[in-house]
Amino acid sequence: MIPPWLPRSSLGEVIRRQRELSRLPMRQLAAMVGISNPYLSQIERGLRSPSGEVLDAIAESLQTTADALVHSAGGNEAGEEETPVVLALRKDHRLTAAQREALVEMYVACVTATHSRRRRDQA
């Protein structure tokens, strides 16, 4: 579920960045997800919010989780501190801003996926 307080534009920007990092054209991702190209464009521009089902399909096509996308868009719990790894990545100015953000997003996605898997295994 997408938190109602999360700006749609932030989530759309994260989806667009992940799509670009995956080197997927918009039309190809839309086809993989089963939605129209204009609808995906509206999501990426923050004009529409995807349903939970569409967000799950987008995340699966981008080989991540919906939780990781939401978290990357700023959907972390209020007061949640950034880990030392994330802080270190954000401070490493040997990388470009885009590289730093991509690494942070990948790290968060990996941690989130591991956490989700462990919760499922314990249930």
Measured on CA atoms in the order 96, 100, 105, 110, is the torsion positive or negative? positive
- Give the Cβ contact number of residue 112 at 10 Å: 20
Amino acid at 52: G
Question: 27 vs 72, which has greater pLDDT?
Answer: 27
In the chain, where the domains are located: 8-122
Average the pLDDT over each of 1-5, 26-30, 32-36 and give the range with the smallest value.
1-5
Superfamily, domain 8-122? lambda repressor-like DNA-binding domains (1.10.260.40)
Tell me how long the chain is.
123
* pLDDT, average across residues 71-82: 58
Average the pLDDT over each of 3-7, 37-41, 59-63 and give the range with the smallest value.
3-7
pLDDT tens digits, 80-90 = 446 788 778 87
What pLDDT shows up at residue 78? 37
